[in-house]
Each structure stands twice: as structure tokens, then as C-alpha cells.
Structure 1
Amino acid sequence: MPTPTKGPRLGGGPSHERLMLANLATALFEHGRIQTTETKAKRLRPVAERLITFAKRGDLHSRRRVMTTIRDKGVVHVLFTEIAPAMAERPGGYTRITKVGNRKGDNAPMAVIELVREPYSPKQATVKEAEAATKRSAADRAEAPAAPAAEETTTPAEESTTSEAVEPEITEAPVAEGPAGAEVPAEGEGVTDDAPESDAKA
């Protein structure tokens, strides 16, 4: 027994669903964008992208494979001559689904499915990797200030020990004491003029 596809079945039976998806794909390639229900857009996306992959090959066998789904030769011609060359460098993701709100009558969720027409650049393919790298670097930056803070607390003590080792110790000059506890100036200190000569001679 084949594995059933994901999501609800469209229409009353499998053949009806295939015809509905074929008509939706034809309208998508003809107009470039269509508005439909969200469920139909999600089911149409893999079908349309597979047809674009066939069109990128460009050989006769691929054209006949596409013709089994899309019966309009004009739309097949547009697919092979205009859409496929525009998607040549894009590795996948040929369609985009945008939700547009609910339908007024039955409140069904609606969506717009369109072909991605922007030129592909390899830089866009690495956007997720760049975002992950920025998140990792931000986390590293958040952890980094905690380690330098601990180092800063230890560095002043280390600097003080090194400054003490480098700078010579300054000691006060010895003060000689005379008789009766009078202080005598040490060598190199001048004698004041106010002092009597007898004190200076002593």
C-alpha cells in the first residue's frame, strides 16, 4: 500500500485532486502568482517545484513529463523558455507562500503562492549560518566579561606587589637626641638662624 500524502485530500478522489493541482499549477505558471486556500497552496508547492525542476533539465523527455500534468502548450513553453532560465542558479525554493487572512464567505484561511523572481546569490544561502554564528559570538561575548572581571580583581594586588618590589623603601633620617631630650638635627640638615650659637656649637 502506498504511503498517503500529508494533509487532507483535495476534491472527492485522487483523480480529482490531480486535476485540481494541475489546474492550479497551470494558473501559477501563467500568471506568476495566484491566491487560493492555504491547504491548496501547501499541496501545490511540491508539484510546482517538481515541474520547474523538470523544466530546468530542458530535454525532450522532461518536456513530455511536464506535458502529462500541464496540458496547455503555451504555458509549457513559458515554463521552459522564461521560468526555467530564471531559476537556473537557484538550487530549490522556487515558490513562496504568504498568508493573507481568511476568506469573507466561509472564513477559510487564504494564501498567495508566487514564483520567486529575485536573482539568486550564494550569500542568501548562508543567511541562517551567519545568524547562527552571530548568536554564538554574542553568547561568547556575554561569557567573556565574566572572566576579565575576575582577572581585573587580581591584577591590582599583583601590581602592588610588583611595585613594592621595584620601588626602594624610603626610611626617615635618624634623629640624634642631645642632653635633656633635645633633638639635634641630623647630618645634612641646616641650622636655623633663630637658634643661639651655643646650641649650634654643641
Structure 2
Amino acid sequence: MPTPAKGARLGGSAAHERLMLANLATALFEHKKITTTEHRARRLRPVAEKLITLAKRGDLSARRRVLATLSRKDIVAELFEQTAPKFADRNGGYTRITKVANRKGDNAPMAVIELVLEPVSPKQATVREAEKATERAAKASAPVEAPVADEAPAADAEAPEAEAPAADAAETEAVEAEAPAADAAEAPAAEKAEDKEA
């Protein structure tokens, strides 16, 4: 059920407001588009969308609930038989409110509320399904990634490895520097060994 609106009612009493919204909904379903004040359009939207959701169900109970709000049987029949099948692929968002210029007499903010009768784009539906699948996969793999959460220490472990080649290069240079010195030291020792053999 929609959240009750805050502030003053549209009419003088709750019954007046309920009947006013029922008349606006009847006009909306009859003409598919109406121009009214912005506040009335915003109050009408949840009422109209709830009626469309009931019409999409299509059973006798839903029809009687819609008839409790809308008094014209011809509009209810049109809603159930012609309008509701157009919303079969759409999950909510059945109406669109567009602001228009203020009313000339009292400068009241006006809006057009209309039914969104365009078919749902299959591309958008596919993209939404793919996004939902990605979110589900991310949630499913989240417990698996928990041990991987220690990526910061792993990154620190990689940093010394990056420094290791530089350190290896320094050690190699030191070994190479020591090698000629060792060769130089070994050369006299080798000569002494040859002299002893001789």
C-alpha cells in the first residue's frame, strides 16, 4: 500500500479526496493522458498503478476491487481487457508525470500524467537481467572472496619481490666484483701450487 501523503488533503474530507482520485483515475484510463495540477498528479500515480496491478492479475476478485474504486463498468472492462495486457512485460512504472507550464489563472504548477503504453525494450530487459545476474554472482562469490580480502598484505608481499630484482642485481654486481678479486687471489695460489708440483 502506498505511503499516506503528508499535509492537507486534496478535498475538504477524506471521502472527497478518495472520490476525486477515483474520478481522476477514471479520466486517466479513459483518455490515457490528462492534465491536472502537479500535486494531484503525484497523488493519483500510486492509486492508478495499484489499479493497473490489480487489472494485470485479471481474476474476479481483482475486478471487484477495481470496481470498488472506479464506478464506470465500461472503463473497468477496457482496463482489464485492453490496457492491462499492454503492461504484461512491464514491472511497475505504468504512469509518467511530465511538468508543463503553470496555469494561467492562478499560476498553479501543472503536470501531464499519462500511461506508459510503449513496449518494454528487450535490450533494456536483457541488460537489467544481466545486471541482476552479475549482482547475484557477486553475492554468491562474496564468501569465497573473504580470504582474498587480505590483498593489502599480498600487495606488500609483491612489493619486496619487485625490490628483489634490484637487490639481486646489486648482489650480482657485488659477486662479480668479488670474483675478479678472488681470481686474482687464486692466480698466485695456483702459481704456487704449480711451483710446488714442479
TM range (shorter): 0.5 to 0.7
User: Percent of counterpart pairs with the same letter?
Assistant: 58
Rounded Cα–Cα distance in structure 2 between residues aligned with 1:13 and 1:82: 34
Tell me how large the CA RMSD over aligned residues is: 3.7
78-87 vs 163-172, which deviates more? Answer: 163-172
Give unpaired runs (5+ residues) of structure 2. Answer: 139-154, 185-198
String of CA shifts for 1:105-138, please: whole Å, max 9, x gaps.
21211122122224342644887999xx9xxxxx
Secondary structure of the corresponding residue to residue 106 of structure 2: coil
TM-score, normalization by structure 2: 0.62
Is 1:159 matched up with 2:134? no
Name the residue aligned to 1:60: 60
Rounded Cα–Cα distance in structure 2 between residues aligned with 1:162 and 1:31: 81
Return closer, same or farther for 1:112/1:125 CA change in 2, 3 Å cut-off: farther
String of CA shifts for 1:74-103, please: whole Å, max 9, x gaps.
221221112211222333222222222422
String of CA shifts for 1:3-36, please: whole Å, max 9, x gaps.
9743421122233222211111111112222121
Rounded Cα–Cα distance in structure 2 between residues aligned with 1:26 and 1:38: 18
Name the residue aligned to 1:169: 176
Rounded Cα–Cα distance in structure 1 between residues aligned with 2:130 and 2:46: 23
Return closer, same or farther for 1:23/1:158 CA change in 2, 3 Å cut-off: same
TM-score, normalization by structure 1: 0.61
- Kindly indicate which of the two structures has a greater share of residues assigned to helix: 2
Give unpaired runs (5+ residues) of structure 1. Answer: 134-147, 175-202
Runs of 4+ in 1 over 6 A off after TM superposition: 125-130, 151-154
Structure whose alpha-carbon radius of gyration is higher: 1
Q: How many residues align?
A: 158
Secondary structure of the corresponding residue to residue 68 of structure 1: helix
Rounded Cα–Cα distance in structure 1 between residues aligned with 2:23 and 2:37: 14
